[in-house]
Amino acid sequence: MKFTNGQLFFAGFFVIAFVIGMIWSYSKDKKHQKNYYKNVGLIGIVIIVVIAIFTMLTFWIHE
């Protein structure tokens, strides 16, 4: 399925506008992030460890 030039232009414009909007929103909220996301790194590590444990248990049980 080929895209028309108009569809490609719209997709490119949308991606650029979305990235600019996200950067603007992030820079606007940057000063509040220290209060809201104090232990986000630790929580991310815990989630990855839990998923790894469930994966290992799944492979171990189904052997």
pLDDT tens for 27-43 read: 888 777 777 777 888 99
The pTM score is 0.49
Distance CA 39, CA 57 (A): 27
Cα dihedral angle (8, 9, 14, 19), rounded to 10 degrees?
Answer: 100
For residue 55, give the 3-state DSSP assignment. helix
* 5-18 residue pLDDT tens: 999 999 999 999 99
